[in-house]
Amino acid sequence: MKNLTTDELKKKWRAENCSYTPALASEIHDFEQGRKIVFPDDFKRYLLEVNGTKVDGDAKLFEFYPLDRLETWFEKKWTIPPGTPNYFAASEFYVFCDYMISCWAYAIRLGKDQDSGEVVACGWLEFTKITDSFTDFIELYLADDKRIYPPPQPVKVSKR
């Protein structure tokens, strides 16, 4: 697994006047114990170094949630789209980021071991796995890669 360096993330957010406040190790421990999950190392490092954006999010309106706002797909009440694989459990995917005040969002799979970390999209028309790890998601986010945006939908033209 690649190491997540948050330096680029911090640099981007500082340039956009997007503030953040790192989580305390004790807060992370309490969250993991309370939810009976283990954060992947890259996600834990991210929380310790930045812990999400403040409410307004970044310049493109991506808002990364701090630890105290992490909730499961089920708790956030996102609809489970058609074509969702059998392994998907809404209680294992924690929403950590949204776009434009929840037009859509992203969730990370968190389980009882550190081998979790898959990131999927919430609110798209079809189930979409974005990356296998949080680090990979951050790299796509920093590059403003098209894979973090929903595919364009065909426009229906009415005939008169």
Q: Is the pLDDT of residue 160 over 70?
A: no
User: Mean pLDDT throughout 116-138?
Assistant: 94
* DSSP assignment string, 58-119: -TT-EEEPPGGG-EEHHHHTPPPPTT--TT--TTTEEEEEEETTTTEEEEEE-BSSTT---E
pLDDT for 142 equals 95
User: Mean pLDDT throughout 41-62?
Assistant: 91
CATH number, domain 7-148: 3.40.1580.10
Q: What is the DSSP letter of 131?
A: E
The gap from C-alpha 13 to its chain's centroid, in whole angstroms, comes to 16
User: Mean pLDDT throughout 27-38?
Assistant: 96
pLDDT for 61 equals 92
Q: Are the CB atoms for 64 and 148 separated by under 8 Å? A: no
pLDDT for 1 equals 36
Asked which of 2-16, 115-129, 130-144 is least confident by mean pLDDT, the reply is: 2-16
pLDDT for 2 equals 44
Q: Is the pLDDT of residue 17 over 60?
A: yes
The C-alpha atoms of residue 50 and residue 13 are separated, in whole angstroms, by 10
Asked which of 2-11, 85-94, 151-160 is least confident by mean pLDDT, the reply is: 151-160
Q: Is the pLDDT of residue 155 over 70?
A: no
User: Mean pLDDT throughout 40-63?
Assistant: 91
The C-alpha atoms of residue 58 and residue 64 are separated, in whole angstroms, by 9
The C-alpha atoms of residue 100 and residue 61 are separated, in whole angstroms, by 5
Q: Are the CB atoms for 151 and 108 separated by under 8 Å? A: no
User: Mean pLDDT throughout 48-77?
Assistant: 92
Q: Which position has the higher pLDDT, 82 or 138? A: 138
**The residue type at 126:** E
Q: What is the mean pLDDT of the chain?
A: 90
Q: Measure Cα distances from 160 to 120, 154, 157 in Å.
A: 40, 19, 10
Q: Is the pLDDT of residue 153 over 90?
A: no
**How sure is the predictor about 63, in pLDDT bands with cuts at 50, 70 and 90?**
very high
